[in-house]
Each structure stands twice: as structure tokens, then as C-alpha cells.
Structure 1
Amino acid sequence: MSATSQSTHPAEAAHPSDGTPPRPRIGIAGIAIESSTFTPYRSGADDFEVRRGTAAILDRYPFFSGAEDRGSSPGPAAPSGIGGGPSASGRALREAAEYAGVLHARALPGGQLARDVYEGWKQEIVEGLAAAHAEAPLDGFFFDIHGAMSVEGLEDAEGDLLTAIRGAIGPDVVVGTAMDLHGNVSHTLFEGCDLLTCYRHAPHIDAWETRERGLRDLVEAAARVRDGGALPHKALVHVPILLPGEKTSTRIEPARTIYGGIPAITQRGGITDISYWIGFAWADQPRCQAAIVAFGDDEAAVQEAALELAGTVWQARHDFEFVAPTGTFEECLDQAIASEARPFWISDSGDNPGAGGADDTTYCLARLAAREEIRSGAVSALMVALVDPDTTDAAWQAGVGGRLEVQVGARIDARDPGPVPLRVEVAALDESGPTGRAAALRVLDGESPTGLTVVVTGRRSQWARHEMFERLGLSMTGFDVVTVKMGYLEPDQYDAAADWLLALTPGGVDQDLVRLGHSRIQRPMIPFDAEIPAPSAADVLAGGGRARR
């Protein structure tokens, strides 16, 4: 929307006097976070970047504004995905509708969201949309979410939020959403949305492309329905498979072929979009499972395509493997030290903050600090990063070059071995990024430096980009061994690593799902059960296809 159109009264924008077709009026709001129910961390308001009002919310979309917003960014402003710039299609989409932004909150993945924070934002969204709808009726609503938010005391947070929104805007407003493929599609969410789509890549290099596609389909559908046309037909098929993203990367088979085949399906007559949600593995809720959703103008084609893709996923149910070789951390460290590949990266996958881990377990740190090759300095190693405000503040008080005794980590997730006692020298300090204060600490053996450097931060963060390291004078390729709190490596990391292993470490996002203790998911379900039934026509939940009142 141009500055001029932003200042135009909504009723005037919706009904221009020059004879051109009126633009549909689209509300936008959402809360976006991926939440593990197995981590002790609780997400609160301070973890989020919150935008209010139309201008601020529209500026978040790079296809409108050109703002860079890469998915591995640290801190609260960090959805998955790679940023981009404005495009001709994006500019056309911005002018194609009158937008009414209310509130959007987003955060790095974490734990369950505090109920009072959620309820406050829900009330603000509902009241804001009700006011916008009363000022000039909304034709559509874009529900901008991740899809795996957990809130204390709720089984289906996005479903709860959308139900409240529908109560404010009514049943006739066309609702669309564009989600992370690691989100969940409950029956409530499916029934409340008219159009649903999700990413087609992991890592999520198409995050903004997906939002642009979802918003464009919504604008077109809202205009059509407002003028008396019918809603798209839609179909949902659940497949009881629950897998970590590290087993479903589109860099490898079978996900590469499954997702690679989606564009061809969308080219069939009568089908607008089809998506495959892997689901979110680290929440213990009935909605957590794989889902296929298709929508388009041909009811039979939509249902057939959804069942077909569900069958493709079912056929591959035993073929999903980890994106990299795996092992215990000890096994991975043995291989890394013995290898000639430098740098050799190891993912501390069980405490990946990008999936909701606490970001402060010390299982790997303790073993790095005890390893003789690293203690002697024969092997240089970097552990990045643990959230530890107390140690970070102590490092800032000591200053660069200062030496001090610290207890690192395990302030949130205190599982064995707990805080690690270290004598360290402050190598570098930085507070220019959304991690808050950060410190690079060189570990000492007495007064002599070892080969280990550990990064601590004031905020939970995910160190996936070159500039994150460079702010502390570090390099992604400057150490023999780099241990990072990640699952699969993001693009900068993947390019930097000469070799890589995925360590199956303990934590709130443990890759070994069976040992986490799910008790409320649907059964049977892979990998908790050896087999599941094939999807059938009886599993298809259909909807849409009618004109609004």
C-alpha cells in the first residue's frame, strides 16, 4: 500500500469513485512462535518482537518493503526463512488490497508461552479486528502464524486464537494462512481457515515466498467471494507420522522428492495449492502429526490430490533418515578430532533454540572442556552459544582481557551435568545485536589458555550467520571443531563446514522422540509404533466450495 492509500479512509479505499473495481479489505494479525512442551523454558513478552498497526506490520514483509529478515537471525525477531527484497509482484500485491494491520508478535522458538501474555495479545487482536471490521467491513483476514505455538493450559493455541478472531469478524470473512511446514493443522484450524499453505523447503529458504503466495491467494479469493463467487474447495488428510525436521530436510530424500513434486500438482486443473506439514515433534498434543491440505475450484480434484500426496508420504514412512550422520556427542567429538576436515561442525541438536530448546544445557560444554586434545590446545574448539546472563554480565564487568572464575550454563535446563565451572579470559565483548550482551570466553587451564572458546549471551539466540560470529571477532571457519546449538545446519553454517555430524544430545528438543515421553498424541504413530494404516478416502476432511451469505 502506498503512503497515499495508507492515509485514505477505509470506506473510500474500498469503494473508489473513479469506477475502478474496489479493492478487498484485508486484516492482518498473528502470534508466531514454535514452542517445545518438553523444555523448562517459558516464553514471555520479552522474547517477542511486537508490531502494532498497519504500517509497522506491512514493513515486516520484504516483498513489500525490501527489509532484510533472514531466518537464522538471533533474538526475538527471528522466524525461519531467508529475507529478500521487493518485487514487481509484491508491489502489485501491496496495491491490490486495503490492509488493516492490528498486532503481530514473533519470537525465536522457545517454551510454552505464558498464558497471561497470550490472553492479553489475543484480546488486543480480537478487539482491534472487531474495530477495523466495524469501521469498514473486512473481506479477508491473513492469519500470520508459525503453527506450533504452545500456550500454558491450551491444547491448540492457534485454533483457540482463530476461534476468538472468527467471533469478532464473523463467518463470512475469507481467512487465509501461510505457515511453517513444522506447524500443526488441527481440525479447528482447518475449519476456521479457507486457504492454508506452508513452506516447501527445509531449511526454509522460501519463507517469504510462501507468505507472498498465501497473501496473494487470499486477496484474490476475498475479492471473488465479495463479488458473489464461491470459496475454494479444501481438503485435509492427516498422516500419523511425527518426525523431527532433521529427518525431513528437503536437502535429502525422501523429502526432497516429495516437496519437489508439489509445484506440478498445483498446475493441475482445479487446484490452487497443496501443502505438506511435517508437524511439530516437540509438543505433546493431539494435533501434532503430519498433514496434507489442498484447495482449489474443483472439489473432486482437490480431494484426490490431498489423498494422493498423503499416500506418497505414507509410502515413504520408513524412509526418512537424519540429514547428517549421527551419534552420541562423544562419538561425534571423537570423529571430529580424528578428521582432517577443518572446520568440523557438530550440532548439539537436543538443545537447539531454533526448535525451542532452552539454549543452556551443558552436556557438550562439559565434554569439550574435559577433552585432553582441546585442553592442551592441540585442537581449537568453539562452543556457541549458551544463554547465561549472569556469566555474560560478569564478563562485561571484567572487560576484555579480564580473567575470572565462572559457572556456565544450566540456569534454565539444569539437567546433568549442571553448571560447568570454568576459569576464563574475556576475549571479546559485543552488544550490537539482538542477543543482548555477548561475550567470547577463552577457557584457561590455570593461567594457560586451552583450545576452547565458549560464547555466552544475555538472550537466547541461534548463531547461524557469518555476521553473528564476526561481531565477536570470530569466524565460522577459524576453529578446528565448532559445536553449535542447532539441528540441521542453516545455509551459512552448511557452507562453512568442511564436515558435519548431528549429535543426538539430551534436551528439550531431543531428536530421539521416543525417550521424550509423549503421552497425548494420536496412536498408532510412527516412530512410536512400527506401523500405521494407509490413508483412505474416509480420512479426507472436506470443506469450502460455497458462496458466503
Structure 2
Amino acid sequence: MSPPIIATAGLACETSTFSPSKTLAPAFHPRRGNEVIDKYPFIHNGTPLGDAADWRGALIGHALPGGIVSREAYETLSSEIETRLADIVKAHSIEGLWFDIHGAMCVEELDDPEADLLRRIRKVIGPDVVVSASMDLHGNVSRELAHQCDLITCYRTAPHVDVAETRERACRNLVALIARRRKESSKALPFKAWIPVPILLPGEQTSTRMKPAKHIYGAIALVESTPGVIDAAIWVGYAWADEPRNRAAIVVVGWDKSAVGKGAEHLAGLFWSARDDFQFVAPSSTFAECLDTAIACSPSDRPFFISDSGDNPTAGGSGDVSWGLARLLERPDFKYAKGPKVIYASIPGPEAVHAAVKAGIGATVTVTAGAMVDNLHAGPVTLTGRVHSIKYDDMHARIEVVIQVGSVFAILTELRKPYHKEHDFTDLDLKPREADIVVVKIGYLEPELFAMAKGWMLGLSPGGVGQDLGRLGHKRIRRPMWPFDKHSFQSEPNLSARFIARSDEVLEGPDD
């Protein structure tokens, strides 16, 4: 028997509804056809999964987190996915679809776009094709998304060091389910237990580096090892969007209904029981107090990293809030070149970048950057300094320049960019390990930065992904919700398993 044909499609973007920026179609850097397969080595020919199925790419798009996706962009990309899948279906009888998504994409005038996209896909591929979704644990799993999927899983680490592992697991589970259906000449599907948990917290309080998230996610292995269970997953949810689906969720799938239900309820109970225990992953304070601490720390605590967390571009911030850089440049500690060496990453300013490029390395320039998109918290920042370095052709930033103002080395970009790797700095002739202070627009530190940091604080700065959720103004999330309504829970929430059967669209047990 020939291997099953499995298609791959999906759109991924983590989007804040509190950020004024907008995400357009080119930001997804769409891959089509064989480009999709090329992206994932674990489904290449010669690998176990690559040889177990005939993988066909439709279209996938992964955008840098940001503001809401325009309806035009969503319709354009979704329509192309439908068209490309229709072409695959015309030529082949497909048995599976890997749904490659994030789970926190917001689209203008549309709730739950991942579920909407999968409904559209189902109309093309039909009801009998098995769908396996891989997601970010900061995504959201609505009842409808759980209903449309047959298998669904997500990352188990934050920071996410198991991205490839999760996607491979989703594909491995998909191939195994198709093989079972073939062997048994059956269209049977595993049980799915879904439990929404009324908790909505930022990733910086739910990192798996520390308890209680470390303990909660550590329990997944025990549930998954239970006979009759295929996969178990816990979603923290996405805190910086305002939709009814935004909350934590548990999904367990498997062939033993009792084991699946008990496993889901166990994980949900662990999550809810720990609600009072979630704390920031690092000491947190105002930006000013973070700088005071960094300046006063001993050499053994340097480089001292500060997370300028309110405008984190990898959480959905616009990336161009100038507030943090302006506060830094106001400090007399950094006025002169002999002061504590500070690296700031980063602020977009296309005109500033072009002016620095025109002037050249070593020139002194006066430029203005920031607040082109998000000027709700601060206006543009003007700085006069020496052009330290220039780099071209970055995937995200396009052009980067470093301008030295006193002892501050500020990275300016043509387009916004996250700074997560050591080479992001060394490529710009910056040495973060030798700096006194490194300020990065980020929440929890990504692994390479975490390894470099001798000291670290989380700066509670303003922006579209600010850590003070109560100030953002959520109006559409389901209530009561922890921690928004701590005193409104007169009784324990319903954490019983809801069994969702796609075949007959029956929801057993209480709804959400």
C-alpha cells in the first residue's frame, strides 16, 4: 500500500489587540508547495516521518508577533490556502492535514480566526481527512477549534525550546492515527477531552523555568504515559488580546475515554490550584528602579539585563515605543562615553537609519526615531551621537545601525526586530558579555540571553503588551477570570472534562 498523502497548511501570528500596529500579508513570509516541506527537516525524504507519508505543502505563513491582522491580509492568504488545497485534493486522495498554527492570531472583525480557517479548510478537504494541529502554548483553544481538530498539541516549554519537537509530535501522531485507521479499515477517531480554565496570565508569570508552571507542565508526561492516551497539552492562553476565547485550556486525546477524561481533569486541577502561586520569572519593578539596581550592582552581576517588557515585539508589541530609550538617555549616569556601557535593543526609525547610513560609520548625526506606530505612551525620541556600526539585509530589520550617545549604544532599525541571539549583537560590533547593562525589548529572556545575564530584572514599562493587565481594558473576555476577578469566585469553576466528538458535533457535559 502506498504511503498516505498528507497536506500542510496554516497561518501563525501572535497579535495584541492593545497594540495600534497592524499586520499585513507580506509579514507572514508565506511559503508555498515544496517550500513548506523544505522548512521542516523531520518530514524530508529519508527520515522516519518523511518516508511514512507523502507530504504536500499548500501554504504556511509565520509572521512576527504584532498588531491585529488586517481582514484583507487574512482573506488573501486564507483564499490562497483554500485554492492550493483544492488543487492537491483534485490530484490526490489526501488522508491527513497538518494544521501549522500559533493560536493567538487576531483578525479585524473576526473572532477565533484559526477555527474559521479550519472550517474553510474542512469545506475543501472534507470531513474524513484527519487533522492534527500544532500550536504555541500561548495560543487559545476555543471549543470550536478543538471540535474541528482530531489531534491537537502545543509546546511544553516557555521559553520555547521544543518548537521542532512539538511540530514533529503533531505529525507523528497524525501518521500513527492514519495507520491505525487503515489497519482497522475504520474511520474511528480518538476521544478529545477539552477543559477551559478561567485563568489568563502573561507568559512572564507562567514560564516553565520555575514553579508552578514547571511543576504543572512536568505532569504532562505522566498523563501522556497512561495507557490509552495519545497526547496531553496545556495552553496558558494569550493575555494581550480581548476575545472570548482568551484563557487557559487543557486538551487530552486518546482511545481510552476514562483515562483521557481523568488526565484532563488532573491537569486542569493542578493549574487552578496553583493560581495564587504564579509570580514574575525575574525580580520586577519600575524601569527607573531597574536602572538604579543595574548601576549599583557589583561587577560580578554584569552584564545586567533589563527587560523593557511593555513593548516586546515577540509578544505582539509594536516595537517602536520610544519610552524606554528616552528614559535611558535622560539619565546623567550615561551622559559621557566613560560611563557604564549600555546596549539598547531596539527602536525602529527608517529615516534615522537612512540618515546614519548616508553619514557613514564614525560620523556624528542627529536623528529621530520611534513612535511612528505606537505614540500612545511617548513621542519620537531624538538622539545625537556617533554612528558605531551598520548592517544590511537582516530578515526582519532590513538595515540596522548602532548610534553611540555617551555610553549608550542604541540599536536603530529600518523595520522592527527582536534581539534574542548573541549574534544579533556581535553582528553589529557589540559585545553584550562585556557590557554593564543590556536593555532588550523582551519579556522573559530567551535562552542565549538568559545564559549571558549575570543579573536580570523585568522592567514594568508601558506598551501594547504591558504586564499590568488590569490597565489594558479587557472588555470581551469571559468573566469571572483570574486574576481580573479574584474576589468573584464564590465557588470552584467547573473543571470537568468536556468530550468533543467531531463526527456528530456533540458536546458531552457542560458547555464553556
- Category of TM-score, reference length = shorter chain: over 0.9
What corresponds to 2:199 in structure 1? 241
Q: Residues of 1 paired with 2:321 and 2:181: CA distance?
A: 51
Q: Take 2:41 and 2:482, find their aligned partners in 1: how far apart are those partners? A: 38
Q: Which residue of 2 aligns with 1:35?
A: 15
In the TM superposition, residue 64 of structure 1 has moved relative to its aligned partner by: 4.0
Match of 1:154 among 69, 89, 110: 110
Q: Bigger CA drift: 352-361 or 415-424? A: 415-424
Q: Which moved more, 1:512-521 or 1:385-394?
A: 385-394
1:255 lines up with 2:217 in the alignment: no
In the TM superposition, what whole-angstrom CA distance separates every residue of 1:85-140 from its partner, at most 9, and x where no partner exists? x9xxx811011011121111111111111111110111111121122112222111
Distance 2:391 2:433 in 1: 20
Structure 1 residue aligned with 2:311: 351
Alpha-carbon separation, structure 2, partners of 1:189 and 1:306: 17
Report the equivalent of 1:59.
Answer: 38
Counterpart amino acid of residue 381 in structure 2: V
1:46 matches 2:18 = no
1:479: Cα distance to partner? 1.5
Amino acid at match of 1:423: T
Q: 1:471–1:223: structure 2 CA closer, same or farther, 3 Å change rule? A: same
8 Å contact 2:53–2:175 — kept in the other structure?
Answer: yes
Deviations 1:134-179 (A, max 9, x none): 2222111110001111111111110111111111111111111010
1:47 positional shift: 1.7
Q: Does 1:439 align with 2:401?
A: yes
In structure 2, C-alpha distance between the alignment counterparts of 1:349 and 1:62, rounded to whole Å: 33
TM, length-normalised to structure 1: 0.88
- For residues 355 and 162 of structure 1, the distance between their equivalents in structure 2, rounded to whole angstroms, comes to 24
Question: Which letter does structure 2 place at the counterpart of 1:63?
Answer: F
What CA distance in whole angstroms lies between the structure 1 residues aligned with 2:391 and 2:17?
Answer: 32
| Residue-by-residue CA offset, 1:425-455 (whole Å, 9 max, x unaligned) | 1110001421200000011xxxxxx111100
Structure 1: 4+ residue segments shifted above 6 A? none
Show the counterpart of 1:319: 277
Change in 2 beyond 3 A, CA 1:535/1:139: farther
Match of 1:97 among 53, 56, 81: 53
- 8 Å CA contact 2:7–2:94 kept in 1: the answer is yes
Structure 2 gap segments, 5+ residues each: 505-512
How many residue pairs match? The answer is 496
3-state secondary structure, aligned to 1:116: helix
Q: Mapping of 1:96-495 within 5 angstroms?
A: 96-226=52-182, 227-340=185-298, 341-376=301-336, 377-434=338-395, 435-443=397-405, 450-495=406-451
Deviation of 1:369 (Å): 0.4
CA displacement at 1:536 relative to structure 2: 3.8
Moved more, 489-498 or 430-439: 430-439
Alignment root-mean-square deviation, CA: 1.5
Shift of 1:534: 3.2
Aligned residue type for 1:287 = R
- Separation in structure 1 between the aligned mates of residue 132 and residue 23 of structure 2, nearest angstrom: 26
SS at match of 1:437: strand
> Percent identity of the aligned residues?
46
Indicate if the aligned counterparts of 2:370 and 2:379 stay in contact, CA closer than 8 A: yes
Q: 1 CA distance for matches of 2:238 and 2:342?
A: 32
Q: Structure 1 residue 544: deviation in Å?
A: 5.6
Deviations 1:305-335 (A, max 9, x none): 1111111111001111100000010111111
Letter of the 2:392 counterpart: E
Q: Within 2, Cα distance between the matches of 1:148 and 1:486? A: 18
Amino acid at match of 1:542: I
More displaced stretch, 252-261 vs 219-228: 219-228
Q: Encode CA deviations 1:364-416: one digit per residue, 9 max, x unaligned.
A: 11111011111134212111111221211111111111212111211111134
How far 1:62 sits from its partner (Å)? 3.5
